[in-house]
A and B are shown apart, each in its own frame.
Chain A
Amino acid sequence: MSEEKGDEFLSWENLIYVADFLQASGENRFSLLGGEPTLHPAFTDFVIYLLERNFDIHVFTSGIMAEEKLEEAVFLARDLPIEKLTFICNLNDPQQTNTSLAEVESVKRFLHFLGPRVALGFNIYRKDFELDFLFSYINEFGLQRSLRLGIAHPIPQELNRSVSPEDIKAILKRLFYYTRMFERFRVKPGFDCGFPLCGVTDTQLAWLYRYTGGRSGFACGPVIDIGPDMSVWPCFPLSSFHRKSLFDFNSLQEVLDYYRRIHDVVRCEVGGIFEECDDCLFREDGICQGGCIAHSIAKFQVEAPVRLKEVYL
């Protein structure tokens, strides 16, 4: 809803265009992301409008918001079925990131008032991550019993903090230390995109399958982000990759097909994040996508330009 590097906000006209575009494509889910979407001056009005259009709304937030905004969010949520308005709150470990007390209090206030509507998300960017505080929050504030887990992927040509392919197996190993905690707190883990199948053992996979009913996958594909200026890109790490205008497409399916085709081209060049991905049967069969494609694209940008032109920014 707002550009991270600018102060441009999504306009009413563009919001309505996107709503039309999605509904004409048969989509009834509308995700509001940022920056911090609740900072948009018309955030509350946008949510009310989208509810009037019968969308199920997912708001990705840090949970840090002014009291007035929180009151508005609580007001919005009253009497609404949970599935109509859900908040996905991405949290950082307050101890590992030295989060200020004021921010922690703000998050807790948010979780306190909107608990049952909140699903937590956690982005892993270091090997020694801790999940304990998330279980504690879920329990204390009665949050949804799910945890969206993502890995920080590289953003090509940007120096963001990300997890290297070599560290992913160690991260997954650490993640599975928490299986008992997941079970005791009845929290279902959900893998975001970019996890490789070979990072887990058969035993871990069996647990994951049994515990989540096979809902966790090892995918990497376009999810489609739309900016305030109506530009589209395949996902957050690839925000500079083959940016197009939403006006170039007639349906969401067309956008997805466009970026899937480019993903296929990239995977023709390099199978996945590991060398073994090239001959991997599971990848060929589509059971695993070979980790996040941003790793490959980031590498292409710093080597000799000898590959298919589509793989470059």
Chain B
Amino acid sequence: MSLLIPVCTPHQKLLERLRGRRLVLRIKSLGLINEAVVLSQQCGVQVHCLIVAGSAPLEDFDFAQEHRGIPVALFAPNLGRFRDLAPKLRILRDLNIRIYLPLDREENFGGLRILSSLGVPSAAVFHNGCIDWEKAADLMTYALLGRFRHAPIEPFQYLAEHYSGSQRDDFSAVYFNDATRYVHIDEEGHIALSSQDLEDQRFISAQLKDLDSLIENDEYRERVEIWRRFFLQAEGCAYCEAWRICLGKFNEFRDANDGCSAFFKEFLEVIEQYQILKTRKMQPWQP
């Protein structure tokens, strides 16, 4: 059986076809968590994570103690009024949840820090190139080198933990868009390699039965190795030393100042510092 984790909606017939697998389920609200979990059990699938994508600010979500232990990725546009969110923080900290906020809203640079400093794991969503890279660098430095303990902020923590220095690393998995780990499936069983592909109906296969043999599919391999195309042109990302952690994700949004390049170069330096600090141990005197 393929190790790829399907991301889909909790559609009974689809789940029955995916029996025995580990899945990521997309649901519309936190109120549907129980229903999705029960359905998964009935259909014999294991829940890897639930994705809740809401359009309301985080303060509007109703979190419940009964959801403790269920892995949730909650996408919200912003925090909302902090005073209205604050009474929910105690429950929020008890849940196995990560809050995703987009960086194209300036308030979310502060929002992510607030959540992290209060012990709530979070993730910055790089929607497109509309990012204040300097602020993103401050956030990344805070996430990895902040002087007081705080909850992780992704994708910074993910890369800091996974980066080895000798190979490329892709942080798309944080957003369920790493095709070597996740595939996206619609109710009819069409398979896409990213959430965007699914939305645009760019499928790699129209048949669910291809799931197990997908990694042998030439088109799949080509997509997974798409990063190679950057080195066919002797310009831009091909010359960026930080390419190995961004993999050209912001190529089409690159501005004249190469803001993304400066950001990711700084990111590499901070990761190095982070890893040194993490592995530094007390060295007693040596005989």
Q: Which residues of A contact B (CB under 8 A)?
A: 11-13, 16-17, 19-21, 23-24, 42, 44-45, 48-49, 52-53, 250
Contact = CB atoms under 8 A, between A and B. Distances in A.
What DSSP secondary structure best describes chain B's contact surface? helix
A137 B92 CA distance: 43
Nearest to A11: B110
A44 B83 contact: yes
Contacts of A45: 81-83
A168 B142 CA distance: 48
A250 to B, nearest CB: 8
A143 B109 CA distance: 40
Contacts of A52: 86, 89, 118
Question: Counting chain B CB atoms within 10 Å of each CB, which of A23, A45, A250 scores highest?
Answer: A45
Interface residues of B, number: 18
B117 A48 contact: no
B110 A13 contact: yes
A20 B110 contact: no
Contacts of A19: 117, 148
Contacts, number: 46
Contacts of A44: 83
Given A20-B146, A45-B81, A48-B83, A53 B118 contact: yes
B161 interface: no
Given A45-B82, A53-B118, A13 B147 contact: no
A11 B113 CA distance: 12
A13 B117 CA distance: 10
A70 to B, nearest CB: 15
Nearest to A44: B83
A42 B86 CA distance: 14
A49 B148 contact: no
Nearest to B89: A52
Closest 4 CB pairs of A and B: A12-B110, A20-B148, A45-B82, A24-B147
30 contacts: A12-B110, A12-B111, A12-B113, A12-B114, A16-B110, A16-B114, A16-B117, A16-B142, A17-B142, A19-B117, A19-B148, A20-B117, A20-B146, A20-B147, A20-B148, A20-B150, A21-B147, A42-B82, A44-B83, A45-B81, A45-B83, A48-B82, A49-B82, A49-B114, A49-B118, A52-B86, A52-B89, A52-B118, A53-B118, A250-B147
Contacts of B150: 20
Given A13-B109, A17-B142, 16 more contacts: A11-B110, A12-B110, A13-B138, A16-B113, A16-B114, A20-B148, A20-B150, A21-B148, A23-B148, A24-B148, A45-B82, A48-B83, A48-B86, A49-B82, A49-B114, A52-B89
B111 to A, nearest CB: 8
A12 B113 CA distance: 8
Interface in B223-275: none
Contacts of B109: 13
Contacts of A250: 147
Contacts of B83: 44-45, 48
Nearest to A22: B148
B244 to A, nearest CB: 29
B134 to A, nearest CB: 12
Contacts of B138: 13
A44 B146 CA distance: 25
A39 to B, nearest CB: 17
Question: Counting chain A CB atoms within 10 Å of each CB, which of B114, B118, B148 scores highest?
Answer: B148
A53 B147 contact: no
Contacts of B114: 12, 16, 49
B113 A13 contact: yes
A228 to B, nearest CB: 14
Nearest to A250: B147
A9 to B, nearest CB: 12
Interface in B95-119: 109-111, 113-114, 117-118
Interface string B141-153: 0100011101000
Contacts of A20: 117, 146-148, 150
Nearest to A72: B83
A18 to B, nearest CB: 11
A287 B111 CA distance: 47
A12 B116 CA distance: 13
Contacts of A23: 148
A228 B282 CA distance: 37
Contacts of A16: 110, 113-114, 117, 142
Given A20-B146, A45-B82, A53 B110 contact: no
Nearest to B87: A48
Given A21-B147, A45-B81, A53 B117 contact: yes
Contacts of A17: 142
